[in-house]
Amino acid sequence: NRYHHLVGGSETVYFNTANLLKKNGHDVFFFAMDYPENLNSSEKKYFTKAFDFNSAGIKQKIANFKSFFYNSDAEKCLEKLISEVKPDIAHIHLFYGSLSSSILVVLKKLNVPVVITAHDYRLICPSYVHLNGNNKICEKCEGHKFYNCVINKCAKKSYTTSLAFSLEAYFRNLIYPIQSYVDKVIFVSDFSMKLHLKYKPELQNMAVQLHNFTPDIRVKNTVSVKGDYFLYIGRLSFEKGLRNLVEAFNSRPGFKLIIAGTGPLLEEILKIKGDNIECIGFVSGKDLEKVIVNSSFVIVPSEWYETLGMSAVESLALGKPVIAANIGGLAEVVNDRENGFLFEPFSLDDLLQKVDYANGTTNEEYQRLSGNASATIEKFDEDVYYDRLINIYTSVIENACEKLAV
């Protein structure tokens, strides 16, 4: 994975999966970029040097431009790690524009079968979130028309960055097509899988859908008490719908909102938020569970095709009802008026309507929603996930062995 520290839902799945495999007796080895924020790892000496193309200045962008397309250092570092640990299989998470296609090349050269989890839409969208420069849903790149990313300034609202992202998409699709280097692609929701197959039907025989899991559901699974605040947890970025969320609660000064997370919108939120909105920064582990348990509802106001929504999954696992935008894979997690409420994405009025209704729920109705939250989360159980993941790994390894034997 690009990061070896918690940044978002992708890293949560990366670490949760590794811990689950270790728990079941498997040896797991990590490979990532060597960021100073990384968690400790015995494989650190193999990590490739870190760079962040998105936040880099012009000079840094130029210096790392080649690595954005093909990271030779990552290729060399990964080859050293593989030679040392000799893995049966590689499971890749985020890698384009960082570790790059170079890791696919070395894995194929060394006959290591590969599974990737598609946490975003980088396989089919250069800017990976299907939003244009005006933060509107965009699907203009269908048919490999990646030049539309430049025309619409889809990446960071910048022609330069959008050009780099578009060229990278053309480069890897032409030179390192995913179907030539990967054995299976795991999609975390039906929505994500269907959208990817619409763009890339050549992935049909490689595609498998597997919902992410949340650890220790049976321990967490409980009917909860309605707290005195609403909660947002996650990255503070434009595609998460935070501007509408803050505006909604600015118009409801009697309702308290806690925002847990960090990201590029933090300074803007601090400037425009009312006194009823509190930003508490990044929280994780037991501290995060405590913040969720003590809330009334968790809000997921996404304005992009959310692949699944791990914050919703984690909240439901704690018996906490969720108010979510009806977009992307969120409707596979939240059932309207069963374990929470769905609202029309981008609609401030509908969000306010659902917040008002949620705030006025009786204790009896709240307990029903909470109980349903606990019940519906069973499909995200770690044992179910583990069994299906091992079946995927086994089939991929067996197929790879058969090819080598021919």
Mean pLDDT by 10 residues, the chain (406 residues): 93 96 98 97 97 69 84 98 98 96 98 98 96 94 96 94 96 97 98 97 97 77 82 94 98 98 96 98 93 97 95 92 98 96 98 98 95 85 95 97 84
The DSSP bridge partners found for residue 230 are 257, 297
pLDDT attached to residue 218: 60
Spatial separation of the C-alpha atoms in residues 282 and 294, rounded to whole Å: 17
Helix axes 242-250, 348-359, angle to 10 degrees: 60
* 8 A C-beta contact, residue 71 and residue 79: no
Structure tokens at 218: 């049976």
Structure tokens at 28: 């797991």
**What's 336's DSSP letter?**
B
Residue 221, classed as helix, strand or coil, is coil
Collect all residues with Cβ–Cβ distance below 8 Å to 363 and sequence separation of at least 6: 226
Which candidate, 69, 67, 37, 34, places its Cα nearest to that of 50? 34
Spatial separation of the C-alpha atoms in residues 66 and 20, rounded to whole Å: 36
Residues of the chain with CATH 3.40.50.2000: 9-213+382-405, 217-379
For the whole model, what pTM was predicted?
0.92
Structure tokens at 387: 């069994």
Which candidate, 126, 131, 121, places its Cα nearest to that of 53? 126
Q: What is the dihedral of CA 101, 103, 104, 106, to 10 degrees?
A: 130
pLDDT attached to residue 56: 63
Which candidate, 271, 260, 243, places its Cα nearest to that of 351? 243
pLDDT attached to residue 257: 99
Which candidate, 156, 26, 159, 182, places its Cα nearest to that of 93? 182
Collect all residues with Cβ–Cβ distance below 8 Å to 232 and sequence separation of at least 6: 242, 245, 257, 258, 259, 260, 261, 298, 299, 300, 301
Task: Write down the architecture of domain 9-213+382-405 according to CATH.
Answer: 3-Layer(aba) Sandwich (3.40)
Collect all residues with Cβ–Cβ distance below 8 Å to 176 and sequence separation of at least 6: 101, 104, 105
Domain 217-379 CATH (choose: 3.40.50.2000, 3.20.20.70, 3.20.20.220, 1.10.10.10) = 3.40.50.2000
Which candidate, 21, 7, 3, 393, places its Cα nearest to that of 210? 393
